[in-house]
A = this chain, B = another copy of it.
Amino acid sequence: MSDYQAPLEDMNFVVNRLLDLPNFAAAIGNEDASEDLLQAVLSEANKLANQVWSPINASGDKQGVKLTQDGVKSADGFKEAYKAYADGGWSSLYFDEQYGGQGLPFSFSMPVAEMMNAANMSLGLCPMLTAGAIEAIFAHGSQSLKETYLEKMISGEWTGTMNLTEPHAGTDLAVITTTATPDGDYFRIKGQKIYITWGDHDMTDNIIHLVLAKLPNAPEGVKGISLFLVPKFLVNADGSLGEHNDAYAINVEHKLGIHASPTCVMSYGDNGGAIGYLIGQPHQGLAAMFTMMNNERLVVGLQGVGLSDRAYQGALKYARERVQCAAPGTKQRGAIIHHPDVRRMLMTMRSLTEAGRAITYMTAAQIDLSHQALDEATRGLALKRVGLLIPIVKGWCTEVAQEVTSLGVQIHGGMGFIEETGAAQHLRDARILPIYEGTTGIQALDLVGRKTLFDQGAAMAELVQQMRDDLNLHGHAVSQQHRHNMSESIDGLESCCQLLLEQAPGDVMFAGSISFDLLMLSGYVCGAWQMICSAGLVAMEENESFKANKLVTVAYYLDHMLPRFEAHRRSIIAGSDSVMAISCDDL
């Protein structure tokens, strides 16, 4: 069974050095966010992840969840593990102090969320969805809703859910049929929602559902969708719980992975209509939902990093222990870690994970800057940067997690295919990542469309310039060959974006045909960018072995991972012709 220890040294390095914590804290006017505090936070979070969440990861996978007459029963130990999380104050890290939050930067929550999700992604999903609901209520809810719900959600006493999807309306939310009918001070919600993560459970006294629905006579399409707060149990004026709302989980899905995370079919209003409260303006529900989408998508990318790291740790342990044939240059049987092909797999896992960590945390810092930078120009720049990076990080880190968790299985050989090892669970759990919160295809379309074509490549041009500046600044820390590789890959990214701007107007299929390749190309180049920055900044670290290993990991990435950009570049240049040439009926 694979155990998990958070990679504290790398996490601290990324936040302290790569995010430049002192300057970053000053820029957002948050002097509490110090290196010492960070170290203390991460060290404590690791204890919870390692001692409480990780030990029930495999048992939760095996046991799964169960829908009973009293609702969904979570797996053994999950209620207690969740309570330890809430009691430890982990649910409130970056929320507003007005409602009991700790007011730390969002980027401080990245390493914490990485380790909780690495330790137990099924359980990690519950706070992740709750955070999204909190953000939506905070940004768009009425004062009364905020006062009634926020404190208990931020403290972790209650959890939250997001209800978007309906059976016929997945990516295309325009056609949802759930209705909301005015009834005095509130609304009556009727409809069915699917894929509702932690839609029901027995870990807390109440669950606050955020539900997309349509008001009577709503405009057609996405401009007619409103957002409602629908508590599982109604809340009395004094804050005590009233009766069960007309909102129930009626099924839980049998899934490939995250077995301990209940994926519910929710039914609202089977007995007259669930009571719901409008969040924000009528028909503005989708916009309200999208305010938190960046954070959610970033955290899904982060789940990919966390699972990748855990898979790496498990594979590393096995590779050290498993004795097989003699490695090259030796005559004795020895651990398989001495074989270069096993080392290749481990280094691939390691370098992709470290690159993924760097770009997710870096993007989180940009989110903080976009909200809280004291300087308005910085906020504006960060906002554009965030918009561009989110689809790259979400798409690339989750696609990469497929490869890394699969390599984790491969290193275990035949044992990897046996469920008891735990390696297969990471692969199964990871498989949802490129799907939920917008598939990779949706991220790729977002990247080519709203984030590139829409601004005529302006944000991308700024990113490319930033990469060139950073290569000038930190390139001394890598070899000339590596500087050349990086420079060439930046040129490749730039020229592909240029090609997109040129081709898209005349070829309606071009953007969609090359979107995935452009996303992956961008991901590999962004990873290389942050790895080169890491090579430059690691000189500030004291631990000699950490320094040396980081430089090798960066070199490995530039030698063996970055070249993949070229396959994507060539595929982009080939364009849409052979993608679309066979008619649908002939496929």
- Which residues of A approach B to under 8 Å, CB–CB? 165, 168, 170-172, 174-175, 194-195, 253-257, 316, 320, 323-325, 327-329, 333, 335, 337-347, 350, 402, 406, 409-410, 413-414, 416-420, 424, 427-428, 431-432, 434-436, 439-441, 444-445, 508-509, 511-513, 515-517, 545, 548-549, 552-553, 555-556, 559-560, 563-567, 569-571, 574-582, 584, 586-587
Contacts and interface: CB of A to CB of B under 8 A. Distances in A.
B578 A560 contact: yes
B563 A172 contact: no
Contact of A513 (B344, B350, B552, B555): B344
Of residues A327, A409, A511, which shows the largest number of chain B Cβ atoms within 10 Å of its Cβ?
A409
A434 to B, nearest CB: 6
Contacts of A427: 256, 431
A508 B255 CA distance: 45
Contact of A582 (B339, B513, B549): B549
A585 to B, nearest CB: 9
B428 A256 contact: yes
A574 B562 CA distance: 11
B587 A559 contact: no
B417 A587 contact: no
A420 B555 CA distance: 44
B171 A320 contact: no
Contact of A580 (B170, B340, B417, B435): B340
A347 B445 CA distance: 18
A555 to B, nearest CB: 4
A578 B566 contact: no
B567 A563 contact: yes
B431 A509 contact: no
Number of copies of this protein chain within its complex:
2
A432 to B, nearest CB: 5
Contacts of A424: 256, 431
Contacts of A409: 256, 431, 435
A253 to B, nearest CB: 5
A544 to B, nearest CB: 11
B431 A417 contact: yes
Contact of A578 (B165, B436, B552): B552
A168 B420 CA distance: 17
25 contacts: A170-B413, A172-B325, A174-B325, A195-B414, A255-B418, A338-B584, A339-B512, A340-B509, A340-B576, A340-B580, A341-B441, A341-B444, A341-B513, A343-B579, A409-B431, A409-B435, A410-B434, A410-B439, A414-B435, A549-B586, A552-B581, A553-B582, A556-B578, A560-B579, A566-B567
A165 B566 contact: no
Contact of A516 (B337, B341, B580): B341
Contacts of A420: 254
Contact of A586 (B327, B344, B414, B545): B545
A566 B563 CA distance: 8
Pick the most buried of A171, A327, A555, A578: most chain B CB atoms within 10 A of its CB.
Answer: A578
A435 B412 CA distance: 9
A399 to B, nearest CB: 10
A407 to B, nearest CB: 10
Nearest to A414: B195
A324 B172 contact: yes
Contacts of A323: 168
A512 B584 CA distance: 44
Contacts of A516: 341, 344
Contacts of A566: 563, 566-567, 570
Contacts of A172: 324-325, 333
Nearest to A330: B508
A435 B419 contact: no
A340 B579 contact: yes
B419 A255 contact: yes
B584 A559 contact: no
A353 to B, nearest CB: 12
Contacts of A432: 417
A566 B168 CA distance: 41
B342 A441 contact: yes
Contacts of A340: 509, 511-513, 515, 576, 579-580
